[in-house]
Structure 1
Amino acid sequence: MIKKAIIPAAGFGTRSLPVTKVVPKELFPIDNKPSIQYVVEEAAAAGIEQILIIVSRSKNLIIDYFDHSMELEMFLQKANKSALMEKVKLPDIKFYSTRQPFARGLGDAVRLGREFVGNDPFAVLLPDDIIVGGGLEELTKVYNETKSHVVALKTVEEEFLKNYGVVQVKQERDDVYEVLDIIEKPQTNPPSNLAVIGRYVFNPSIMDALDEQKPGAGDEIQLTDSIKKVLDSEKCHGKLLSGERYDIAMTEEYIALQRYLQDMKK
């Protein structure tokens, strides 16, 4: 069973400037809840009990959000607004945090969780990606069957594949594939139309690969490069998610998600 998860949330949020100068994108409101709460709730639904959030110096608001606000709770009780307590109730998860002192990439952020992970398998959830329906639980089911690394996949139009890690695969069943190779942001000749999106389940051996990883694209430690490395000696599976994925760092998808959730209420 997967009980631990890492949420990397230390990035500058450059795709969402200028608002991210002061507001972390992980706290962008979606139907009165910050976006990261949807990711945490997805993790909890998949059985996650402990979450390590990787932040930078300017993102302490994220940690504050997942802490008890004693003043607010006392005010609600004294003001006979106890019904609102449910809105500020925290998920039944143990939260931990650590800082990524330098912006050295997603792989670098994940490897900061080595002590937190220990010898246990773990999930990684990118807070930019909101999955509506499906999500991490689908990956954990594949992991429980295979005990291999598992990455989430999405079918992407060819013109946009250059923005993703793209996999070469061998299909095992309708929505599960064995990953044979992975290429970060291929500019020409992508190996398939299946792109990796922000949900992963890893065995702890990925940490060894990350520790040995040299900087890649953008002079950063790329998680994709370490996945590629472990393919030399271990299996990795890809799961085509059944849910709809929204990248909230893209304004049009952020707005589309808001509209979708509002339509669900009608």
Structure 2
Amino acid sequence: MKGIILAAGYGTRFLPVTKTIPKEMLPIVNVPSIAFIVDEFVKSGIEDIIIVSSRRKKALEDYFDREIELESIFEREGKTKLLERITPPANVRFAFIRQQRMLGTGHALLQVKSFVGDSPCIVAYPDDLHIGEPPLSSQLIEAWRETGCSVMATVYEKDDVSRYGVLDIAADGKHVRAIVEKPMKGTEPSHEVSIGRYLYTPDFFNYLEEGWERHEGGEYYHIYALNKLMNEGRVVYKRLSGHRMDTGEPEGYLEAILRYAESIPSLKRVLDNYIALKKG
């Protein structure tokens, strides 16, 4: 099982900081957001991670490499805790592929087809982070082992879903028949909302290539291949257990920082003191 992170986009919602800093490196307190996904992969037993980036994002490669100078200083000074913070994940092999033309996520995934080979893979969109146990990728792997199908991660939205991609679910309550993008209120086929985590079986990439050959220009997305698999009854969904943090826009990014800070006692005290001060 390989893990793929799509990180080639411009991050325009976060300008001006993303003029020079990859959006995936923006910190949730002191942890780059992309590190949450890598940690999820590692905890799910994934040791081969492919990051699709672009020319402006060499910082991603540097972050997951060793920092020899700092390591030497920390080792010499006996600062083992700081050394642990900068050490790349053990037993993980990283590969970086640049998407040289911004032609959509389907085109980005085609860049990794030969690296994936004949095994399933997890595809992560870096705007969606997960907190909780078991890791989200583990949940998708379990669903794949039970069904042999590609798996879409979802969250249940009880209120208005007209801003989302909503799943049309088959009568068996497991398989996905279609995705309805931004349905008008009252016409939604369900309240299961697709999020940026997928497990794809190898045949997905064959359909992805087939769709690219028929593509007439502009950005190319993964929907063609996913529709093919759904039409064959080979896609199921998994509603996530845990909490999703949507960092795609500044508002959600701020919420993610606050939610993560709440999980750390020293930072939670700062939040509590700030709230008490505002109330006082």
Provide the TM-score with structure 1 as the length reference.
Answer: 0.90
Matches within 5 A, 1:90-109: 90-92=88-90, 93-109=92-108
Give the AA of the match of 2:232.
Answer: S
Which residue of structure 1 aligns with residue 242 of structure 2?
243
Q: Give the drift of 1:157.
A: 5.7
Which residue of structure 2 aligns with residue 31 of structure 1?
29
Mapped contact 1:169–1:181 kept (Cα < 8 A): yes
Q: How many residues align?
A: 259
Give the AA of the match of 2:199.
Answer: V
CA distance in 1, matches of 2:89, 2:145: 24
CA distance in 1, matches of 2:35, 2:227: 30
Post-superposition CA distance 1:73-129 (Å, at most 9, x none): 112223342331111121121100110011111111112111110111111011111
Judged with a 3 Å threshold, the aligned counterparts in structure 2 of structure 1 residues 165 and 108 are, in CA distance, closer, same or farther, namely farther
Q: Give the drift of 1:245.
A: 1.0
CA distance in 2, matches of 1:158, 1:225: 28
Q: Greater Rg, structure 1 or structure 2?
A: 2
SS in 1 for 2:175: strand
Mapped contact 1:25–1:249 kept (Cα < 8 A): no
Q: Which moved more, 1:93-102 or 1:220-229?
A: 220-229
SS in 1 for 2:70: helix
Post-superposition CA distance 1:200-256 (Å, at most 9, x none): 11111111111122588x942111232012223341000111121111122222122
Which residue of structure 2 aligns with residue 115 of structure 1?
114
Judged with a 3 Å threshold, the aligned counterparts in structure 2 of structure 1 residues 15 and 129 are, in CA distance, closer, same or farther, namely same
Give the AA of the match of 2:219.
Answer: E
Match of 1:64 among 49, 62, 65: 62
Which residue of structure 2 aligns with residue 183 of structure 1?
180
Give the AA of the match of 1:263.
Answer: E
Which residue of structure 1 aligns with residue 140 of structure 2?
139
Mapped contact 1:13–1:20 kept (Cα < 8 A): yes
Q: Give the drift of 1:23.
A: 1.0
Mapped contact 2:176–2:233 kept (Cα < 8 A): no
Match of 1:17 among 15, 18, 33: 15
After superposition, the CA RMSD in angstroms is 2.1
Report percent identity of matched pairs.
36
CA distance in 2, matches of 1:47, 1:71: 30
CA distance in 1, matches of 2:78, 2:57: 33
